[in-house]
Structure 1
Amino acid sequence: MVQGHYESLNRKNDERMNAIPYCDTGEVFEADTIANVWKREDKEWLKRTQSDRSGYEYPRLGESPYINMTDDFRMEKKVICQDIFWSCDGTSFVSVHNDFGIRQYLVPEESNTDKLNRNLLLPFTRFFRNQSIVSCAIDPFYTLYNENSDRLAGDRIVVGGKNFPLQLYSLMDGQCILSYDTMNKINGEYETVYSVKIDVESRVYTGSCRNKVAIYDKSRRDAVWMNQSTKKASKGRQSIISCFEEQPMGGQALSRGSLLCGSYANEMFQVDCRHQRLERLNYTRTVAGGIVQILTSDNGRYVYVVRRNSDAISIYDRRNLQHELNVLRLPFRIHHNSAKLKAYIDTAYGLSMGTPQGTILNWGRDLVEFGGVPSHNSVEDPLITSIPPESEWRTNLDSTIPATVVKNCPGDPELFALSHGGTISLCRFGG
């Protein structure tokens, strides 16, 4: 009976939830090399700004330090999008690509009704790091129109890389504002920050090797709290803090006290600066290749854990993280080379995740807020152990390219940003 309930929802939502992009980055990121991507982007930006009659002086796009290095093997690869971050007001978003570039886009008006000739999405600002970006996070209050002068500016992004300190940058001009002290006092080397998060109280959380977590005030270079688990990972596992929990944007943005983080050794920890230790709450003996995401339902009661080398998303009750409550079944396995497929929870549509075929899987808000148990279920109903997607949204994009990142716009959840290889599209349901 429960299975039938999901199948009927699947049919209903499939008819209703197809989405067609109304603007995208065009052929810019389809170039064969990184250098050609930059040439295309610069050419289109110049054409756009020169034809603008408003008199507005656009900030010039930053140039990569590698722009003239044609013999660097790193310039030969295709460009892909690593992540997307929306502003809190939904008027802009930030993309991070593997060309070491960080781009800020304005959301254009939906004036074009011709779906075959989409508006071209070009960056408002762009700057580059001189090395690959291992981890990054933006201020949860990020907006281009920050009118609150009583708090630190919100147009900030923290970026972690190898053999470099964690650094805080301005999204507007790409200037480094602050370098945090991430040096290992024993060997004198900078520790790689594999995961990072900025919370609503301007605290910066970092995760590194040997299950080490540090907390910084966003405006100060020295850590205010630091600890690491004394538990050793099992053979073949990496004791690296891989992610911090993500709450739905636009939802309950209040601090919930302790924060969860995960490791590549399939461990879940609780971070609470009021205590002097990192507490391990869950260790799963599984063939999965480590936790890559921890997502929290909007009501904060349920935790959704994404692992590499897995074909399911695990669901836990936050009050009992030792026991797996249910799983969301995926029609594919998240291999190590497809780890950039990111799941996302928003306040209107529940949990969404792109697929290797370029579509988007979805489990609705009601199901997500009840931990995978439909709200009409009684205690006599059998335990649901594997829940298929309630719907699969199609976007009319190339089915041979994975949909790696899909994130709904806060304040307008029917609008979402989608990365498709390196290309970024803005889509609206029923478009």
Structure 2
Amino acid sequence: MVQGHYESLNRKNDERMNAIPYCDTGEVFEADTIANVWKREDKEWLKRTQSDRSGYEYPRLGESPYINMTDDFRMEKKVICQDIFWSCDGTSFVSVHNDFGIRQYLVPEESNTDKLNRNLLLPFTRFFRNQSIVSCAIDPFYTLYNENSDRLAGDRIVVGGKNFPLQLYSLMDGQCILSYDTMNKINGEYETVYSVKIDVESRVYTGSCRNKVAIYDKSRRDAVWMNQSTKKASKGRQSIISCFEEQPMGGQALSRGSLLCGSYANEMFQVDCRHQRLERLNYTRTVAGGIVQILTSDNGRYVYVVRRNSDAISIYDRRNLQHELNVLRLPFRIHHNSAKLKAYIDTAYGLSMGTPQGTILNWGRDLVEFGGVPSHNSVDDPLITSIPPESEWRTNLSSTIPATVVKNCPGDPELFALSHGGTISLCRFGG
């Protein structure tokens, strides 16, 4: 009976949920090399700004320090989007690409023109790091239109890389505002920050090797709290804090006390600066290659864990993280060396995740908020142990390019940003 319910729901939602792009970055990121991507982007930006008759003086796009180094082998690869971050008011978003670039886009107005002739999405600002971006996080109050002078400026991004300290940048001009002390006091080298998060109280959480977690005040260089787990990872596992708990965008931006983090050794820890050490809450003996995401339902009761080398997303009751409650079944395996497909929870549509075929899988809000059990089920219904997607959304994009990042706009959840390869599209359900 339960399987029949999902099959009928799939058919219903497949008809209703076509996600049609109305603007995208065009052919800019389809160039074969990084240098050609920059040339295309600069050419289109110049054409756009020179034809604008409003008299507005657009900020010039920043240039990469490698713009003239055509013989650098790193310039030969294709550009891929690593992540997307929406502003809290939904009027802009930030992309991070593997050309070391951080771009800020304004959300353009939608037009009723032919969807085959999409509007071209170009960056409002752009700046570059001089090395690859290992981790990054946006201020949760980020907006281009920050009128709250009582807070620190919200147009901030923290960026971690190898052999560099964690650094805080302005999204508007790309200037480094602050470098945090991430140096290892024993060997004198900067520790790589593999995961980072800024919370609503302006605390910066970092995760690094040997399961080390540090907490910084956003405006101060030195850590206010630091600890690392004393337990060693099992053979073949990496004791690296790989991710911090992600709360739904568009929900109430409230602090929920302690924060969860995960490791590549399949461990979950609780971070609480009121205590002296990390507390390990879960260790899963599995062939999966480590935790890469921890997502929380909007009500905060359920935790969704994404692992590498796995074909399922594990569901836990936050009050009992030792016991797997249910799993969301994926029609593919998240491989270690494949495109990094990111799952996402929002307050309107539940949990969504792109696929290697360019479509989007979805488990609805009601199911997600009840830990994988549909709200209409009675307590006597059998336990659902492996839940297929409730719907699969088509995007009219190439089926040969994975849909890696899917994130709904917090101010308008029917609008979402989608990355496929390096290209970014803004899509709306039903067109």
TM-score, normalised via structure 2 length: 1.00
Displacement of 1:11 in angstroms is 1.0
What is the correspondence of 1:23-422 to structure 2 with a 5 Å cutoff? 23-338=23-338, 340-422=340-422
Cα-to-partner distance string for 1:182-229 (whole Å, 9 max, x where unaligned): 000000000000000000000000000000000000000000000011
Cα distance in 1 for residues equivalent to 2:308 and 2:392: 21
Cα distance in 2 for residues equivalent to 1:339 and 1:326: 25
Cα-to-partner distance string for 1:57-98 (whole Å, 9 max, x where unaligned): 000000000000011000000000000000000000000000
Displacement of 1:113 in angstroms is 2.2
Contact 1:141 / 1:200 at 8 angstroms: preserved in 2? yes
Contact 1:94 / 1:103 at 8 angstroms: preserved in 2? yes
Contact 1:292 / 1:339 at 8 angstroms: preserved in 2? no
Cα distance in 2 for residues equivalent to 1:337 and 1:10: 30
Displacement of 1:14 in angstroms is 0.7
Cα distance in 1 for residues equivalent to 2:379 and 2:349: 26
Cα distance in 2 for residues equivalent to 1:203 and 1:328: 32
Cα distance in 1 for residues equivalent to 2:375 and 2:111: 39
3-state secondary structure, aligned to 1:327 = strand
Contact 1:183 / 1:190 at 8 angstroms: preserved in 2? yes
Cα distance in 1 for residues equivalent to 2:112 and 2:29: 22
Cα distance in 2 for residues equivalent to 1:33 and 1:266: 36
3-state secondary structure, aligned to 1:257 = coil
Cα distance in 2 for residues equivalent to 1:401 and 1:408: 20
Cα-to-partner distance string for 1:24-64 (whole Å, 9 max, x where unaligned): 00000000000000000000000000000000000000000
Cα distance in 2 for residues equivalent to 1:430 and 1:148: 36
Contact 1:132 / 1:161 at 8 angstroms: preserved in 2? yes
3-state secondary structure, aligned to 1:288 = coil
Contact 2:160 / 2:167 at 8 angstroms: preserved in 1? yes
Cα distance in 1 for residues equivalent to 2:338 and 2:409: 24
Cα distance in 1 for residues equivalent to 2:20 and 2:375: 31
Contact 2:292 / 2:308 at 8 angstroms: preserved in 1? yes
Cα distance in 2 for residues equivalent to 1:370 and 1:6: 16
Displacement of 1:162 in angstroms is 0.1
Contact 1:140 / 1:199 at 8 angstroms: preserved in 2? yes
3-state secondary structure, aligned to 1:216 = strand
Count of aligned pairs between the two proteins: 431
3-state secondary structure, aligned to 1:245 = strand
Displacement of 1:339 in angstroms is 5.2
Cα distance in 1 for residues equivalent to 2:218 and 2:161: 18
Contact 2:212 / 2:241 at 8 angstroms: preserved in 1? yes
Displacement of 1:338 in angstroms is 2.4
Contact 1:112 / 1:119 at 8 angstroms: preserved in 2? no
Cα distance in 1 for residues equivalent to 2:338 and 2:330: 13
Cα distance in 2 for residues equivalent to 1:217 and 1:422: 33
Displacement of 1:381 in angstroms is 1.1
Contact 2:141 / 2:200 at 8 angstroms: preserved in 1? yes
Cα distance in 1 for residues equivalent to 2:404 and 2:376: 33
Percent pairwise identity: 100
Cα distance in 1 for residues equivalent to 2:195 and 2:410: 23
Contact 2:62 / 2:127 at 8 angstroms: preserved in 1? yes
Displacement of 1:314 in angstroms is 0.2
3-state secondary structure, aligned to 1:136 = strand
Displacement of 1:112 in angstroms is 4.1
Cα-to-partner distance string for 1:322-372 (whole Å, 9 max, x where unaligned): 000000000000001225100000000000000000000000000000000
Cα distance in 2 for residues equivalent to 1:407 and 1:113: 24
Contact 1:135 / 1:161 at 8 angstroms: preserved in 2? yes
Displacement of 1:422 in angstroms is 0.2
TM-score, normalised via structure 1 length: 1.00
Deviates more, 1:377-386 or 1:41-50: 377-386
3-state secondary structure, aligned to 2:294 = strand
Displacement of 1:4 in angstroms is 1.2
3-state secondary structure, aligned to 1:336 = coil
Cα distance in 2 for residues equivalent to 1:147 and 1:67: 36
Cα distance in 1 for residues equivalent to 2:34 and 2:166: 25
Contact 1:98 / 1:132 at 8 angstroms: preserved in 2? yes
Cα distance in 1 for residues equivalent to 2:305 and 2:123: 33
Cα distance in 2 for residues equivalent to 1:95 and 1:170: 14
Contact 1:348 / 1:413 at 8 angstroms: preserved in 2? yes
Contact 2:228 / 2:278 at 8 angstroms: preserved in 1? yes
Displacement of 1:380 in angstroms is 1.5
Cα-to-partner distance string for 1:244-278 (whole Å, 9 max, x where unaligned): 00000110211000000000000000000000010
Cα distance in 2 for residues equivalent to 1:10 and 1:199: 36
Cα distance in 1 for residues equivalent to 2:376 and 2:354: 28
Cα distance in 2 for residues equivalent to 1:373 and 1:252: 23
Contact 1:168 / 1:179 at 8 angstroms: preserved in 2? yes
Contact 1:262 / 1:268 at 8 angstroms: preserved in 2? yes
Contact 1:297 / 1:368 at 8 angstroms: preserved in 2? yes
Contact 1:194 / 1:207 at 8 angstroms: preserved in 2? yes
Displacement of 1:18 in angstroms is 0.5
What's the RMSD between the two structures over aligned residues? 0.5
Cα-to-partner distance string for 1:98-151 (whole Å, 9 max, x where unaligned): 000000000000014210100000000000000000000000000000000001
After superposing on structure 2, the runs of 4+ consecutive aligned residues of structure 1 that deviate more than 3 Å are: none
Residue ranges of structure 1 left out of the alignment (5+ in a row):
none
Contact 2:339 / 2:402 at 8 angstroms: preserved in 1? no
Cα distance in 1 for residues equivalent to 2:252 and 2:416: 20
Displacement of 1:3 in angstroms is 1.2
Contact 1:252 / 1:299 at 8 angstroms: preserved in 2? no
Contact 1:112 / 1:118 at 8 angstroms: preserved in 2? no
Cα distance in 2 for residues equivalent to 1:214 and 1:261: 12
Cα-to-partner distance string for 1:364-392 (whole Å, 9 max, x where unaligned): 00000000001122221111110000000
3-state secondary structure, aligned to 1:418 = strand
